[in-house]
A and B are shown apart, each in its own frame.
Chain A
Amino acid sequence: MSTDWDVAVVGAGVAGLSAARVAAGAGLRVVAYDRMAPGGQLVNLTSVHDHPAPGETADSAGLVSRLVAEAEAAGVVMAFDEVTRVRSGTPVRLEAGAGAVTAQVVVVATGLGPGRLGLPGEEELVGRGISTCAGCDGPLFRGRAVAVVGDDEWTAEEALELAEVASAVTVLVPGEPRWDADRARRLAAAERVEVLPGVRVTALRGEGVLAAVVVETAGGPRELAVEGLFTYVGRRGPAGLVEEVPADAAGRLPAEGLGAAAGTVLVAGDARSGAVQSVAAAIVDGTAAGEAAVAARRAAAGPAPGGSASAAGPWLRVVDPTYGVPADEADGAVPEGGGADWTEVALFSNSKPNATELLRGVGDRLQEHWGLAELGFASKPNASAAADKDVIDWLAQRYKVVLVAVGD
């Protein structure tokens, strides 16, 4: 893959894919980086509220599919790697796991991190009671008490979704609710939902799994016995990602004019200070960043001969029919798994509840069916993390067949 691009987009969520599509559509060579998979926050949502219009709901996976398809059709190359540092300059230098690349324009569209309370023991309980996805993890709490922390429209929707499965849903609002009247009415009408404004979660209880939370209320501290806690506060932007660019209090990057944080580094979507957090806003923001990237390249290239402006800057766009298509393996190359024997079979769990049990059950059937002596096993430390490269290397070299668990 090339190491020099016209535009590099960091974060292939809604804003990033929108920016990448616009820039690539104008003839620029565009790469879109994502640490795990395209989709951004939509990956952890089953549905998107207030999209495509207020009051409507869209299937998030379908929306991701469409955004990816449109970006790729425009010529965007997807890269699955974590960009750890962006150094301003001409060109801009990006440091990623697989090495450094350069780009004339960079669009930072990382979005925000997951909701966090900043309490001791919190990270250990993520995936063991603490979640940020009602659609994904809600069924794990069927018939159990859960709490939701937040004050915005999405908090309200998640609480309503959880109320369909949980025995009780307590919505802990740090200040006053910011959701609209319709959602306030629906929450009030939901039998199993209680909204507590003006409360702050001060401690988490539980050994290995969440058992309760301690909240500070106007009437003093109170302990709530809940097995699930869905947090929608404390989400942080990509502070420190772009060299010498200070972040705001929430870790988001400032933007001047049309998203310019540092010359040829642009910021789009939720990562931008002051951004409205909605799918529609992210599409608009990403599109504007893509157009700004195109304008920056045009300006850098100067006026076109004869006065006609080319989107790509250079006046001749060379169309490479193999552009964006990964090169085939070299002739004669032997894929790593090709050397293993068919008796070498392993399971690879994503560590979600019951995923390992499902894999072992299915693996046992295959073991019996093929008369295998044993099965190998590996797992990710948690479902939200990318698979460790060393583990992938080991599985690829050691096994012929690997059963992989995906989903919840």
Chain B
Amino acid sequence: MELEKRGVVAPLLVTSTFLPLVEAQAKARRVSPRVVVVPHPVGGLNEQELAERIEVAAGALLPLADEARGSA
């Protein structure tokens, strides 16, 4: 969030359990972070499960990144 405040496009890859906490922190810091949510947890997953998380995250991130670059 500090990076976003300093002009960097800084999407947060957040596991679902931590999303409410990220939202609370964002509110306290007066920022609106770009958030990509993946199912919790990420740790402990095998290769296939992690690949599925990556697909989910990439599917959300790429249009978000394109939009940020396009609107710059």
Contact = CB atoms under 8 A, between A and B. Distances in A.
A387 B8 contact: no
B44 A358 contact: no
Given A337-B7, A362-B61, A406-B12, A46 B25 contact: no
B28 to A, nearest CB: 4
Interface in A353-408: 353-355, 357-359, 361-362, 365-366, 369-370, 387, 392, 395-396, 399-408
Contact of A39 (B21, B68, B69): B21
Contacts of A406: 12-15, 18, 22
Contacts of B14: 406-407
A69 B26 CA distance: 11
A326 B1 CA distance: 15
Interface residues of A, number: 59
A407 B39 CA distance: 10
A39 B8 contact: no
Given A39-B21, A354-B44, A365 B3 contact: no
What range describes how many residues of B lie at the interface?
35 or more
A84 B72 CA distance: 40
Contact of B8 (A59, A69, A326, A399): A399
A256 B57 CA distance: 53
Contacts of A39: 21, 24
A135 B12 contact: no
Interface of B: 2-3, 5-25, 27-30, 36, 38, 40-45, 50-51, 53-54, 57-58, 61-62, 65-66, 68-69, 72
